[in-house]
Amino acid sequence: MQIKSPLILILTLLFALGCKRFEAPPAKIPLEDFFRNPEKTYIKISPNGRYISYMAPHENRMNLFIQHVDDESVEQITFETVRDIGGYIWANDTRILFVKDKGGNEDYKLYSVNIDGSDLKCLTCFPDVRLTLIDELKEEPDDIIVGLNMRDSTVFDPYRLNIVTGELQMLAENPGNIIDWFTDHNGKLRLAVAVVGGANRKILYRDDESGKFETVLKVSWRDEFIPQFFTFDNKMIYALSNLGRDKSEVVVFDPKSRTETAIIFKNPDVDISKVTYSAKKKKLVAAHYITSKREVHFFDEQMEQHFKSIKSKLKGKEVVVASKNKNEDIFIIRTYTDKTIGSYYLYNTSNESLKKIIDVSPWLKEEHMADMKPIAYTSRDGLTIHGYLTLPKGVAAKNLPVVIHPHGGPWIRDYWGFNPEVQFLANRGYAVLQMNFRGSKGYGKDFWLKSVKQWGRNMQNDINDGAYWLIDEGIADEDRIAIYGSSWGGYAALAGVTFTPDLYACGIDYVGPSNMFSFLGALPPYWEPVREMFYELVGHPEKDSLMLASISPALHADKIKAPLLIAQGANDPRVKVEESNQMVDALKDRGIEVEYILREDEGHGFRNEENRFALYQSIAIFLEKHLLTGNK
């Protein structure tokens, strides 16, 4: 198969020139260095700017610590030894809120603790109840607004929660179809997104909390209208919208006239992914989007100048604002590149001073990491597929063992930046290709819609065409190509070895679905309102039964020739353990080599450090056996 791209000649020339002079391959870095817990991460500044908080290891589990900005004294405030803290926020100047689940079941519970570690309590420890955060209520230090599926497991009702007493006040009862709630800048619940007519949506609005929600906009499932937040007079709504256009743009929507009244920012090539604002200034700050790399368009000139000042001090680094204090004069800055997971800095806007807090993973040296290069190729039906190619350092880009690495989702996208899996594989001598196949978000409505009911079909063709492109370019050894992915990428790995059995030498499925019928039949209860959306995008178990059967790898195990490694968490609420069990059983019945890694204390991905180490050790051994020997 000949797959041509306008970038092929340029890339080939670059690779050829790069191979005339290259360093010796770097030494094999211990896999633990790629996947161990960082020294400090998720660093945030307190509202008053006096403290920083962070997560760091304690007995191999990520816990919370508080450090004074002035004297750098440190207080550990949680002591989890079974499961990592799942995430946290500053509730006010003296209290932290954090979440954790049990064994990866994703039934997150909310806890609160003082910054000296005292008065630790669980606020939502109700059986089989999951939590979502609706509004932090930054102006009300003792209250937040959360969503709980306590009354009905399939939907989330909004509650005002007192973080000191644990008192709950229901603000509205979900009628059964609301999937998102929004507050205005005064913390009043005034906007909602509901599913209607199966998979379509409607935007519900009210003037105040005493009023009744009314429909102000109906949106087809094929379109996108995502509310971001209210305008600062609390009368209109900033949203990301592709109504009547291909790309999502930042718009202002008037619920009174029920129309978009202004386009604030757009990019002709990609969707806008989010918009940010300043609570202090009451104005928009920036619009964010991703081309081959992350991009920012500033609305606030002062913030743009601060950004330029920071970038001038950190040349060659990508920069993001990880946190800011209430006065918005002290920022936590996070840096990264494709070759480093980055560092944290404290930035003071008053004098533009920049102080390093820590390198997240100082044991990984940039000079030992490989370049992640943006690439593009053309699919067999003429689509441009963007992606990233990482080549192992110190070797010619010719006849390499390759790992095709499709992302999960599938309605997300890969992006440029440090990826420990990719760097680990490159360090072991493999080229790694990541591609944003049709359906990947960010490339417009038309590109996304081309993925409808294309699991295992044209979406899979896009992935396979990446492998063929590497073969045609001479980069890949056609007898040494593996496919590896997690979640939807795990499905793609199974589909790859099932439906193109002569293309891949082996496959690795990490928490991926194998049978469309059992997968769709076991969606988590809180996904019930979007079940019809799944049917529209993936296929209906009855109306599309023949198609779903044709794309279910577990039902076609007789076609598989290549050895497989399958990894699964027993408590996974999204891709149930039965998805992997039935695939393993089908392969064993046929005598196909399959290695099964099942962890009883994990869910949709392995979070505990020792489980990550064991997984990637198995992956390393598996790939070495089936790719480096050249035996297919």
DSSP letter for 253, please: E
Mean pLDDT of 581-599: 94
Angle at 472 between CA 468 and CA 474, to 5 degrees: 115
Residue 560 pLDDT greater than 50, yes or no: yes
Q: What is the mean pLDDT of residues 23-32?
A: 85
**Residue 149, in any domain of the structure:** yes
Domain at 417, CATH number: 3.40.50.1820
Sign of CA dihedral 362, 367, 370, 374: positive
pLDDT at 11 over 80: no
What is the distance between the alpha carbons of residues 433 and 404, in angstroms, rounded to a whole number?
5
Single-letter residue type at 363: W
Task: Pick the closest to residue 276 from 251, 299, 307 (CA basis).
Answer: 299
- Closest-CA residue to 108 (of 604, 598, 615): 604
Cα separation, 277 vs 268, whole angstroms: 23
Between these two residues, 630 and 195, which has the higher pLDDT value?
195
Question: What is the pLDDT, as a whole number, of residue 7?
Answer: 36
Query: 538 Cβ partners below 8 Å, 6+ apart?
Result: 453, 455, 516, 520, 548
Under the banding of pLDDT at 50, 70 and 90, the label for residue 26 is confident
- As a whole number of angstroms, the distance between CA 258 and CA 466 comes to 44
Number of domains in the chain: 2
13, pLDDT greater than 60: no
pLDDT for the residue 15 = 36
In a domain, 106, yes or no: yes
Q: What is the pLDDT of residues 272-330, one digit of tens each?
A: 999 999 999 999 999 999 999 999 999 999 999 999 999 999 998 999 999 999 999 99
> Could you tell me if 576 and 522 are in contact, meaning their C-beta atoms sit under 8 angstroms apart?
yes
How many CB atoms neighbour CB 459 within 10 A? 24
What mean pLDDT is predicted for residues 473-477? 97
- What is the Cα Rg of the chain in Å? 25
Question: Residues near 264 by Cβ (< 8 Å), separated by ≥ 6?
Answer: 238, 249, 250, 251, 252, 275, 284, 287, 299
Q: What pLDDT does residue 23 have? A: 61
pLDDT (0 to 100) of residue 9? 34
Query: What secondary structure does DSSP assign to 263-315, as a single string?
Result: EEE--SSS-EEEEEEETTTTEEEEEEEESSSEEEEES-HHHHHHHHHHHHHST
**276 exposed, middle or buried (CB, 10 Å; 0-12, 13-18, 19+)?**
middle
Residues 132-156 have pLDDT tens digits of 999 999 999 999 999 999 999 999 9
**Inter-residue contact 482 to 505 (CB < 8 Å):** yes
Distance of alpha carbon 611 from the chain centroid: 20
How many CB atoms within 10 Å of residue 169?
11
Sequence-distant (6+) residues with CB within 8 A of 19 are: 396, 397, 398
| CA–CA separation, 142 and 597 (whole Å) | 44
347: in domain: no
CB 35 within 8 A of CB 620: no
**What is the DSSP-derived secondary structure letter of residue 30?**
P
The mean pLDDT value for 64-83 works out to 95
CA end-to-end span of the chain: 20
Inside any domain, residue 249 = no
Check if the beta carbon of residue 53 is closer than 8 Å to that of residue 44: yes
pLDDT given at position 440:
98
Instruction: Quote the pLDDT of residue 6.
Output: 37
- How far is the C-alpha of 388 from the C-alpha of 382, rounded, in Å? 19
Could you tell me if 548 and 456 are in contact, meaning their C-beta atoms sit under 8 angstroms apart?
no
User: 334-371, pLDDT tens digit by residue?
Assistant: 999 999 999 999 999 999 999 999 999 999 999 999 99
For residue 12, pLDDT over 80 is answered with no
| pLDDT value of residue 3 | 35
Give the CATH number, domain containing residue 54: 2.120.10.30
* Phi, psi dihedral angles at 85 (to 5 degrees): -60, 135
Asked if residue 509 has pLDDT above 50, the reply is yes
Boundary residue ending a domain (176, 193, 218) = 176
Residue 559: predicted pLDDT = 96
* DSSP result, 209-238: TTS--EEEEEE-TTS-EEEEEE-TTSSSEE
Last residue of a domain, one of 120, 145, 176: 176
The pLDDT assigned to 14 comes to 33
In a domain, 595, yes or no: yes
- Return the structure tokens found at 572: 């996974």
Please give the residue range of the domain that contains residue 477.
370-628
> Per the domain annotation, does 283 fall within a domain?
no
Residue 501: pLDDT band (50, 70, 90) is: very high
Position 483 in a domain = yes
Domain boundary among 176, 196, 213: 176
Residues 6+ apart with CB under 8 A from 434: 387, 388, 389, 390, 405, 406, 407, 414, 419, 422
Q: What share of the chain is helix, strand, coil (3-state, %, to 5)?
A: 20, 35, 45
By the 8 A CB rule, do 231 and 239 touch? no
Phi, psi at residue 424, to the nearest 5°?
-60, -45
543 lies in some domain: yes
SS3 (DSSP) at 488: helix
Q: What is the pLDDT of residue 71?
A: 86
**Averaged pLDDT for residues 564-586:** 97
